Every structure is written in C-alpha cells, then in structure tokens.
Chains A and B, each alone.
Chain A
C-alpha cells in the first residue's frame, strides 16, 4: 500500500481534519461575535476583577492539563502504562475542574439574570447570547474530551488500545486548549468594565 504523504497514521490525519473543521466553526462564532461586538453602540461590559481572576484560573488549569496530556502521550509511547494512566487521570481531573469552575460561573450569571435573551444591565441582549453560545460549545468540547480521555485511558490500560490512540486524543485536547486561548481574551478580557 502507498504510504501517507504526511507520514502519520490515518487516525491522526482524521483528527487533524476534524480540528481544522472545528477551528472554522469556532472561528465563525468568534468572527460573528467580533462584528456584533463592535457594531453595537450600547455593548454591555459585565465582567469585574473576580470574573477575570476566575477566567485566569480556568486558563492556567487548561494549559496545565495540556502539559499533563503531553506527559501521558510520552509515557504511552514509551510503554509505561501505569505512568500514562496517572498523567491521563490528572488531565481528566483538570478538565473536570475547568468544567466545574465554568458551570459555577454560569450559575452565578444565570442567578444575576443573564441568559441567551436577557441582559440584567439593560443593554443589548447580544452579550448573553454570544457568551453562552461560544463558552457552551467550548464546554461541550471539554466534557467530551474528558469522557474520551477516560475511555482511552481505560482502553490503553487494558491493552485494547495503543499509544497512537492516546496521541490522537491528546491532539484533540490540545485543540480544546487552543480554542480557549482565543475565547478568554476576546470574551473575558475585552468585556472588563
């Protein structure tokens, strides 16, 4: 059979193609946010220092989870199964922590009266619609990623799955981290009052 011109496995190439398509989806959402944000005269800036500190904590957690994922991939490629399990477990826990902080933030905002079509500060309702849509889609990716990591870790431990499965899942997890690198500055830092 003719080798791949990219010299990577088909599952890794498939993940790359998914990532490019998903990046276009997030890009479209963020471009839409950008145009609406700067096209609205009465845009609301709801965030204070506490929201930014919470967002910073979430960013550090997600960045750290990328590091632990790299540890997991390296351990899996070296055949160190128990070490890979520990790294992947740490990654999944950090993902759960990120999701918990995010849901806590959502809960606080919903109690304050924010919603997809509601703005308790009296300005345009677009902020709530865009914030919950974009962070919601990202959160869905985080939760899916945590489930995938747990499934892959168990499969790798029981020798049903290989190191390349761990590597491909890691690629997805780094992409989730990469998206947050745009969501945090554009949705949080630009809306500091």
Chain B
C-alpha cells in the first residue's frame, strides 16, 4: 500500500498559524464590504482575497505543498482552464438571446 506522507508533515502550530491568517483574510473581506468602496473595486478585492484563501487552503490544509508537484500540475491548471472557458463562453451565451428567431 502506498504511503500518503511524501515529505515533512507540518505541525499543529503551523496549522493554527494558517487558520489565523485565513480568519484575518475573512475579516478584511467583511471590512471591505462595509467600507462603501465601488462595486468594481469590491468584486476585484473579494475575488483576489478568496483566491488567496483558497490557495492557502490547497497548499496547507489539503496538503498540496507536501505532495509531489505532478499532482498539482495535473489537477489545478486543468481546473483553471475550465473556469477560463466558462468565463469566455458564458458571457457570449447571454448574447444568444438577441439571435433568437422571433416567435411566430
């Protein structure tokens, strides 16, 4: 049977530090929402913070940092490509409404 521990395992102290960092990011997100910044700035800031938080969770909580790099390169770029394609195609799909034939 394969062992899943591939390198040095982090301690609970590391996990608690990561957890505190993530709580801090959530607090910044909430503060931004109450700060009356423009919608564009708020969406951008929230997405950047959410992706940062997700990257931290993937690296530490989900152990991608401690697995072989091949696992990351096999899974994550393909997922990001899928998101990119959604972004490209779905925006265009809204335009399809204007291409519909009129109802007789």
Contact = CB atoms under 8 A, between A and B. Distances in A.
A181 B2 contact: no
Interface residues of A, number: 47
A36 B68 CA distance: 39
The B interface is mostly helix, strand or loop, or mixed, namely: helix
Contact of A189 (B4, B23, B33): B33
A74 B9 contact: yes
B23 to A, nearest CB: 6
Contacts of A63: 19, 22-23, 26
Contact of A28 (B5, B54, B86, B94): B86
Contacts of A4: 2
A190 B63 CA distance: 30
Given A70-B15, A178-B58, A9 B26 contact: no
Given A27-B86, A59-B26, A182-B54, A35 B4 contact: no
Contacts, number: 119
Contacts of A174: 57, 61-62
A8 B67 contact: yes
Contacts of B96: none
A185 interface: yes
A182 B4 contact: no
Contacts of B22: 63
B12 interface: yes
Interface string A159-193: 00000100100010011011001101110011010
Contact of A31 (B70, B78, B86): B86
A66 interface: yes
B83 to A, nearest CB: 5
Contacts of A41: none
Contacts of B98: none
A6, A31, A60, A167, most chain B CB atoms within 10 A: A6
Interface in B39-57: 42-43, 46-47, 49-50, 53-54, 57
Interface stretch (A16-24, A89-97, A116-124): A16-24
Contacts of A184: 26, 29
B6 interface: yes
Given A24-B82, A27-B86, A181-B57, 13 more contacts: A6-B68, A7-B6, A24-B79, A27-B83, A31-B87, A64-B19, A71-B12, A174-B57, A181-B50, A182-B54, A185-B46, A185-B47, A185-B49
Interface of B: 1-2, 4-6, 9, 12, 15-16, 19, 22-23, 26, 29-30, 32-34, 42-43, 46-47, 49-50, 53-54, 57-58, 61-63, 67-68, 70-71, 74-75, 78-79, 82-83, 86-87, 90-91, 94
